[in-house]
Amino acid sequence: VKERGKNDFQLFTHEMHQKLYRKMMIEKQLRSALDNEEFELYYQPIIDLNNNEIVGMESLIRWNNETLGQVPPDEFISIAEETGMIIPIGHWVLNTAIEQNARWQKAGYKPLTVSVNVSVRQLLEPTFLVKVKNAIEKYGLPASYIVLEITESIAMYAEVMVEKLDELKALGISLSMDDFGTGYSSFSYLTKYPLDSLKIDNSFVISMSQDAENKAIVKTIIAIAKQLDLKVIAEGVEGVEEYNFLAANCCDFAQGYGISRPLPATDFEDKWLTRSEL
């Protein structure tokens, strides 16, 4: 027993060492990633459950690095947040998403909203509002076609945040609470913040059909949203069964692999964009 305990310990430290090493590599490679143009935005459609038509898309960052290969955002975004790299990366994301949407609208496609993920750290950065304003002016996209997706972690900064979000709202953009139900345990911020919509977290939606409790949670979140006059988006919609359940339970919008994976801009354009009717 003693012998095994010792081995376990060594295995653990080895694993820790590997994790630390990978983190350091990511940190190092991240520093030059923007200059080397290693990032790309993918787009995933958001569908209106009332008429099954596309109404918008979420932009999702992809990182392809020569040394590390494809690094998933779940792995590098938190490191970018810790190191502050999220500020320039987030700026690039915001500008790229707005520019892309403006270009599609100018090309005559039916106008869609673009949803952009924003970290708390970006929101707290003093020039964020100006950056959003500048991007809107530079690319000429009406603010009403921009949605910022924020997470429940903003609840920790209540007072400052209300002010910042009010200013963003005043520009005419929409605000969506991402990963709803996974983070903060109090709902008080829902009435404090000027939100337009809630996104039900993947984890509840994916396993809904096999799990009565998740079904109940999803229904409850939809009810909360309706009560507070917020739109509700379900993400992680992988199958037709889930899609139909959401439509039957008055969820407004759906997003997920069952509809489409996130796609590079050119593929998204081919598959999802349609000409405006004249």
Positions in the binding site for ligand C2E (CB under 6 A): 44, 60-61, 72-74, 77, 90, 93, 117, 119, 178-179, 202, 206, 235-238, 256-257, 262
Residue 120 interface partner, choices Ca ion, ligand C2E, none, CB cut-off 5-8 Å depending on type: none
Given a contact cutoff of 8 angstroms between Cβ atoms, the answer to whether 79 and 137 are in contact is: no
Q: Of 152, 179, 242, 252, which lies in the binding site for Ca ion, with binding defined by CB under 5 A?
A: 179
Query: Which of 13/83 has CB closer to ligand C2E?
Result: 83
Residue 60 interface partner, choices ligand C2E, Ca ion, none, CB cut-off 5-8 Å depending on type: ligand C2E
Q: In angstroms, what is the minimal distance from the CB of 248 to ligand C2E?
A: 19
Residues 238-262 as b/e (b if ≥16 CB within 10 A, e otherwise) read: beeebbebbbeeebbbbbbeebbeb
Given a contact cutoff of 8 angstroms between Cβ atoms, the answer to whether 104 and 112 are in contact is: yes
How many angstroms separate the CA atoms of 184 and 187, rounded? Answer: 8
Residue 252 interface partner, choices ligand C2E, Ca ion, none, CB cut-off 5-8 Å depending on type: none
Given a contact cutoff of 8 angstroms between Cβ atoms, the answer to whether 249 and 219 are in contact is: yes
Query: Which of 77/276 has CB closer to ligand C2E?
Result: 77
Given a contact cutoff of 8 angstroms between Cβ atoms, the answer to whether 167 and 204 are in contact is: no
Beta-bridge partners for 146? 114
Within the chain, how many helices (H) and strands (E) appear? 11, 10
Q: In angstroms, what is the minimal distance from the CB of 96 to Ca ion?
A: 16
| Per-residue mark of binding to Ca ion, 122-161 (x: CB under 5 A) | ---------------------------x------------
Residues contributing to the site for Ca ion (CB under 5 A)? 117, 149, 178-179
